[in-house]
Chain A
Amino acid sequence: MQSNRLLFFGIISIAVVVVAGMFLARSLLVNNDPIILSILYSTEKDAWLNDVSSGFTGSVHGRPIQLEFEKMGSREIYLSVLDGSRQPDVISPASSLQISILHDQSMVEDGTPIVSASGADDCRSVVSTPLVLVAWQERAEALGWLASPDADMWEQLQAAVVNPQGWAAYNHPEWGFFKFGQTDPNKSNSGLMTLLLITYDYFNKTAGLSTADIIADDYSQWFGELGKFTTIGDSTGTFMQEIVAFGPSKYDMVAVYEATAIEQVDNAAGRYGALHIYYPPATVLSDHPFCTLHADWVTSDKVEAAQQFVDYLLTQPVQAKALELGFRPANPTITLDSPNSPFTRYAANGLKIDLPAEVELPSGEVLNTLINFWNRHHR
């Protein structure tokens, strides 16, 4: 009897150990739980990401990758990551300007940057689009801009905006005062890009913009006058819609992304005359970097997952879709001059494949000085 009882307990014990071992092994060896990759991205990419993200499949160590998206304005992305109110794995603001500011600011606050400098392997650009000026062609021509504006485009623009005679000084009193619009750099990346180009241009530079430059008195006065008569918007997309919907009565010219302009070219046809796209003498790109954060919640599996997703975004069909929407693909195998490319279709609207030289990306500190400078003139 005694030995029977021993045998019984023995068998039970072995069974328990075997079952527990199986569970343990299963959880250690084959974890099928998805890896959730949370991505905070800027609104301009919404249509593209909605189109293409469902085609992505990937896995790390047999665990499927599940994508979680949230969209917001680029400046909000920067602020919410910096103050910790959002803890995404990957961020994709509209441009490396925000990455530069976040890199420097997080270094100041935490002693270590929360993102790599843009261009690093974990901070790659997936598409890009330059800042352009969209104007009613008839009016831009009256300003003397024919095929393309002169090298002193920004000076001409400022002179027209501040001229108390308005369009009367250009033989068109019926057009009233000159109406230029840009977005608020505190809310929208295109506004910061515009401010950066205007500032570089004022100092006849394309690199090495310094804090000392920005706070110079003569610039403050020059920009102050321009700012006083500039219409400020919150969103690049809304601005572009408004120039089309309200026509030249409300805006003669607005600073927006090339891709945003492309989106509305067809809509503008048959409304208020030809809408034309003009390239500033030096450019800056909204380069849409996808950057993996350096944070304790970003595990090595997530880093791997992020890499896979970015690789997917750079594949040929996904990049071709971006081109259809007006972005310039980062994948060099896709050419802009194919017959169906918007760059071919809208060439008559001034769209150009070759871009002027890019200005140098300033440090986060200089960009912050620039935003503070803006706020002094607009608040």
Chain B
Amino acid sequence: MNTRSNKFIVITILCLTFMACGSETVGSLMGNKDVVVNLVYGSEKQEWLEPLVAEYNAANNKTADGSTIVIEAKPMGSIEAINAIIGQEIQPVVWSPASSVYLPVAEARWQEKFGHELAAQPPADLVLSPVVIAMWQPMAEALGWPTKPIGWSDISELAVSEDGWAAYGYPEWGKFKFGHTHPDFSNSGLVAILAQAYAGAGKQRGLTPDDLLSPELAQFMEQVESSIIHYGSSTGFFADTMFNRGPSYLSATVMYENLVVAQKSKRLSGASSQIPVVAIYPKEGTFWTNNPYVVLNAPWVSDTQKEAAEAFETFLLARPQQERAIALGFRPADPSIPLGSPLDAQHGVDPSQPQTVLEVPEAAVIEEVQYLWRQAKRPVDVTLVVDTSGSMAGDKITTARTSLVEFINQLSNRDRAQIVLFNNQVSVLSPLTPLADKREELVRRVSGIIEGGDTSLYDATLQAYQQLETEGDPDHIRAVVVLSDGEDTSSVRTWQEILQEIGASGEVEGGNSIKIFTIAFGSGADTTVLQQMAEPTGGKQFTGDPATIDDVYAEIALFF
């Protein structure tokens, strides 16, 4: 063979080789890319979604261009999430709130900001569950359940009644203790106040701004809210609180049917020893959670992310994933999947319910009801106990000061706040008086807090607690919020005395007792002690550092 034909053969082989491996080479290069889909969703479906996200990610699903789909999902209050998205604090690809109730408000605000529609396509429903009032079975029976229909109006009457459960022949149950989440952050809180507005107006549809102007409605709402033990950011947390603490703490809570089923399943398996809880489907009508999957039509969402988000949606709507949702107590969005166990009487629910719904009001009316609630909500008496020991020097004291100011600004004028500072001494910076008269002065005083000295954590906490017991108004939510960065080093009072005091008060007042919220600030804080202070009261222990302390205070504010 001559050199020319040799050359030809070499070139041909090279060409063939490139042709053969070309697509694979390109594919593997592209396959190294990840497309990340951030998803924020309502916490009520956490138990369903979390394992599915892990499975989906493990399967290395690809988009058409060969990118590997990575889902990063985070539970967050439904309304809190959209507020954060519109404020561009977070930039997820998908928002899946508990229900479509807030969608009209979100849509209006989105269009105002971005000039186009919120959703990239009409959102599909992932799973369904009606909003119910979860109540301990003996209490529901005292109200006539299951034969007598019970509604928002009955709950409201009970909440308003001075006699509480005594009016139903059960004085030993004390006052009616009711719970719903914060309506500016969580879907179940929002629907609870919408239902209250309907009950107050005596309507089931056509709620108008005029209805909301009536002083009777405002008074009605204020009375119902007076039975609220505290608010909170997540429906899931409320369900846990009720089911862990039992009937002396909370009589009833607005939540979703699936959470009642989940509790019943725990009870049947022996994982919970509480008395049974049942779902009440309000006779005037309720709302549905439909868990819409909203792929955001946002400037930060790429076409590949949209494609990946849709692929994950298809996965969630497929039969095996829907069947897992049913096992957890949801109703399927796909009508070809039958309803069955555990959606049955054995699990405290009635699949033939609800019989009717309340009409979802238009956006402006929803916002009006939220405004009305802010005026009517149960006031809070809060004592902010702040560690000013020497170890708080630097970032800690500066961030604590600004976070406290923000916390004070979230409280309403009717709320009363006092501030107790401690190092080796305990000093009251401001007495328990309404913020209306002293907001500016208080902010000024807080901004001037300086550090130095030892840590008298027990003395300060106990003094704050006892003062709130004597000076606080039992009709208000009463809470002590303690921030500490170290172990107690200089108290006169003992740990035992604190436990005794808290225990005695909790027994008498149940959910209406004074709550202690604690913040372990930085790595030196005594987390064990702070946790043991908070939990028996129905409060919560948080961990924070200079970077996160403002979020921690903001979350505590949601309880009020």
Which residues of A approach B to under 8 Å, CB–CB?
A: 166-167, 174-177, 179, 229, 234, 241, 244-250, 264, 267-268, 270-273
B204 interface residue (CB < 8 Å to A):
yes
Selected A-B contacts with CB under 8 Å, 9 pairs: A176-B204, A176-B205, A176-B356, A176-B357, A248-B356, A249-B353, A270-B339, A271-B338, A271-B339
Q: Are B357 and A249 in contact (CB under 8 A)?
A: yes
Given A264-B335, A271-B339, is A234 in contact with B122 using a C-beta cutoff of 8 Å?
yes
B401 interface residue (CB < 8 Å to A):
no
List of 5 A-B pairs having minimum Cβ-Cβ separation, nearest first:
A176-B356, A244-B335, A267-B335, A249-B354, A245-B335
Kindly list chain A residues whose C-beta atoms are within 8 Å of the C-beta of B286: 249
Using an 8 Å CB-CB cutoff, how does the interface string of B120-139 with A read, 1 for contact, 0 for none? 00100100101000000000
Separation of A177 and B285 alpha carbons in the complex (Å): 9
Which residues of B approach A to under 8 Å, CB–CB?
A: 122, 125, 128, 130, 149, 204-206, 283-286, 288, 331-336, 338-339, 351-359
Kindly list chain A residues whose C-beta atoms are within 8 Å of the C-beta of B359: 177
DSSP majority for the A interface? Answer: helix
Across the interface, name the chain B residue whose C-beta is closest to A269.
B338
Q: Are B332 and A245 in contact (CB under 8 A)?
A: yes
Q: Which residue of the partner chain, among B128, B332, B334, B355, contacts A176 with CB atoms under 8 Å?
A: B355
Separation of A176 and B353 alpha carbons in the complex (Å): 13
Kindly list chain B residues whose C-beta atoms are within 8 Å of the C-beta of A250: 288, 357
Q: Are B205 and A177 in contact (CB under 8 A)?
A: yes
Across the interface, name the chain B residue whose C-beta is closest to A270.
B338
How many A-B pairs with Cβ below 8 Å? 63
Given A166-B204, A244-B335, A267-B336, is A249 in contact with B130 using a C-beta cutoff of 8 Å?
yes
Q: Which residue of the partner chain, among B335, B351, B354, B355, contacts A268 with CB atoms under 8 Å?
A: B335
Q: Are B285 and A176 in contact (CB under 8 A)?
A: yes
DSSP majority for the B interface? Answer: loop
> Known contacts A175-B355, A176-B355, A246-B288; can you find 11 more A-B pairs with CB under 8 A?
A166-B204, A167-B356, A174-B355, A176-B284, A176-B285, A176-B357, A177-B359, A241-B334, A245-B333, A248-B355, A271-B351
Separation of A241 and B353 alpha carbons in the complex (Å): 18
Kindly list chain A residues whose C-beta atoms are within 8 Å of the C-beta of B284: 176
Across the interface, name the chain B residue whose C-beta is closest to A248.
B355
Residue from the set A167, A176, A229 with the largest chain B CB neighbour count within 10 Å: A176
Kindly list chain A residues whose C-beta atoms are within 8 Å of the C-beta of B351: 271
Kindly list chain A residues whose C-beta atoms are within 8 Å of the C-beta of B288: 246, 249-250
Separation of A215 and B128 alpha carbons in the complex (Å): 42
Kindly list chain A residues whose C-beta atoms are within 8 Å of the C-beta of B353: 249
Kindly list chain A residues whose C-beta atoms are within 8 Å of the C-beta of B205: 176-177, 229
Separation of A249 and B149 alpha carbons in the complex (Å): 15
Kindly list chain A residues whose C-beta atoms are within 8 Å of the C-beta of B354: 249
- Output the least CB separation between B104 and chain A (Å): 13
Kindly list chain B residues whose C-beta atoms are within 8 Å of the C-beta of A247: 352
- Output the least CB separation between A244 and chain B (Å): 4
Given A176-B204, A177-B204, A271-B339, is A246 in contact with B283 using a C-beta cutoff of 8 Å?
no
Q: Are B204 and A245 in contact (CB under 8 A)?
A: no
- Output the least CB separation between B57 and chain A (Å): 29
Separation of A246 and B125 alpha carbons in the complex (Å): 11
Across the interface, name the chain A residue whose C-beta is closest to B124.
A238
Q: Are A272 and B352 in contact (CB under 8 A)?
A: yes
Across the interface, name the chain B residue whose C-beta is closest to A244.
B335
Q: Are A174 and B149 in contact (CB under 8 A)?
A: yes
Separation of A166 and B358 alpha carbons in the complex (Å): 12
